[in-house]
């Protein structure tokens, strides 16, 4: 790809630091040699030592008199961050059909290099085939787009979702799950895992009744942390599964309704003495009515919450975080991008800590 992009550029050279045939160490050393041969310095130039300046006592009054007055400002007592921004906790979900997404040994599995890429089942590949995916076929006569009509030409391997029950494993209310998509659910679960790993507790919040008594409400951040905690939701495809399901259900409803109307119209034209035909039409009409009843399609009022990228606000509301929150999408680099934004927030004083929640399926 780089060779094609830079074709014809005499002032550019392509250097590989991890060639698949040569290996990482050999190719990296070759890249260093090429950089040195091109004239790049092996080490940064050393700056000259700075001599300490001496200030005579008679200069001090003049300096103080000429300096502008320092204006006082109201502050909450917190000093700006000048040290390092650190990651104090992390949650990790991994693919695998026969495992739990948020298994306790995920980190060890990742460090050991366990393979989580698995072949698709035949039924899944048949569904892909029905989507009439096209592929680019190149030949001496030219390039053409062809529809894939053989299961052997479909995608065969992928990371696939395993067992994941956000209500049972993470205590997310069922009504909240109905207003979210799978990407948001995975992100919320990862955020809860990260809080646990960082040692940040969720404490029980209480609400006061009309009689003045206190009733348990839900688990939230401690009040001292709520205003200082921000949230960033990083996801490339949030809400797409809910959008696809809604469109599919609506299309199915329209198709069944149209078929039923046509059969009812046809049924009214059949003479009463055509018992066999009448019976067949009645059976088909009953079957369509049963399918419509089972589908029970209605446009859900939670549609907007399901398809919008609102995982940041939903997670913040779930844990009671009242700091800044937003969503970022940089494709495969979404989480990396979110980390840089979180560091900017912390250094700018917008938040003391930021929970980055990320998920895609």
Hey, where are the domains in the chain? 2-32, 93-118, 121-155, 170-239+308-358, 249-295
Q: Cα(first)–Cα(last) distance of the chain, in Å?
A: 27
Is the CATH number of domain 170-239+308-358 1.10.10.10?
no
In a structure prediction context, what are the per-residue pLDDT tens digits for the chain, which is 361 residues long? 777 777 777 777 778 888 878 888 888 888 888 888 777 765 555 666 656 555 555 554 544 455 455 444 445 556 667 788 999 999 999 999 999 999 999 999 999 999 999 999 999 999 999 999 999 999 888 899 999 999 889 999 999 999 999 999 998 888 888 889 999 999 999 999 999 999 999 999 888 888 888 888 888 999 999 999 999 999 999 999 999 999 999 999 999 999 999 999 998 898 888 888 989 999 999 999 999 999 999 998 889 888 999 999 999 999 999 999 999 999 999 999 999 999 999 999 899 999 999 999 8
Q: In this predicted structure, what is the pLDDT of residue 79? A: 63
For residue 145, the model assigns a pLDDT of: 93
Number of other residues whose CB lies within 10 A of the CB of residue 54: 6
Query: Could you write out the DSSP letters of every residue in 115-155?
Result: --EEEPPHHHHHHHHHTT-EEEEEETTEEEEEE--SGGGS-
Handedness of CA 316, 319, 323, 328 (dihedral sign): negative
Q: What is the pLDDT of residue 270?
A: 87
Sign of CA dihedral 159, 162, 165, 170: negative
CB 198 within 8 A of CB 88: yes
| β-pair partners for 142 | 139
Cβ proximity of 137 and 146 under 8 Å: yes
pTM: 0.71
Q: How far apart are CA 189 and CA 164, in angstroms?
A: 10
pLDDT at 6: 76
């Amino acid at each position: 790809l780089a060779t094609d992009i830079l074709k014809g550029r005499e002032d550019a050279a392509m250097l590989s630091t991890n060639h698949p045939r040569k290996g990482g160490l050999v190719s990296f050393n070759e890249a260093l040699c090429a950089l040195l041969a091109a004239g790049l310095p092996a080490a940064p130039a050393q700056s000259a030592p700075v001599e300490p300046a001496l200030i005579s006592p008679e200069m001090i009054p003049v300096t103080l008199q000429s300096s502008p007055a320092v204006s006082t400002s109201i502050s909450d007592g917190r000093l700006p961050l000048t040290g390092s921004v650190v990651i104090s906790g992390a949650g990790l979900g991994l693919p695998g059909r026969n495992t739990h997404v948020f298994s306790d040994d995920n980190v060890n599995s990742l460090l050991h290099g366990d393979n989580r890429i698995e072949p698709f089942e035949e039924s899944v590949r048949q569904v892909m085939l029905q989507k009439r995916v096209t592929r680019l076929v190149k030949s001496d006569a030219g390039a053409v787009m062809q529809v894939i009509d053989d299961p052997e030409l479909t995608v065969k391997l992928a990371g696939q979702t395993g067992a994941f029950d956000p209500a049972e494993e993470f205590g997310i209310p069922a009504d909240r799950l109905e207003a979210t998509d799978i990407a948001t659910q995975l992100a919320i679960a990862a955020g809860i895992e990260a809080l646990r790993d960082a040692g940040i507790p969720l404490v029980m919040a209480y609400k006061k009744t009309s009689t003045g008594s206190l009733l348990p409400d839900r688990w939230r951040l401690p009040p001292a942390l709520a205003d200082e905690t921000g949230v960033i939701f990083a996801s490339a495809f949030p809400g797409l599964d809910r959008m696809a399901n809604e469109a599919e259900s609506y299309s199915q409803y329209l198709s069944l309704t149209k078929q039923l109307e046509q059969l009812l119209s046809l049924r009214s034209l059949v003479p009463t003495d055509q018992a066999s035909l009448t019976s067949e039409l009645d059976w088909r009409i009953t079957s369509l009515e049963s399918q419509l009843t089972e589908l029970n399609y209605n446009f859900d009022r939670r549609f907007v919450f399901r398809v919008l990228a609102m995982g940041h606000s939903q997670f913040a509301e779930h844990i009671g975080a009242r700091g800044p929150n937003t969503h970022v999408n940089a494709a495969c680099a979404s989480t990396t991008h979110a980390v840089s934004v979180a560091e900017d927030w912390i250094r700018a004083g917008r938040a003391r800590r930021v929970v980055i929640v990320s998920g895609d399926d």
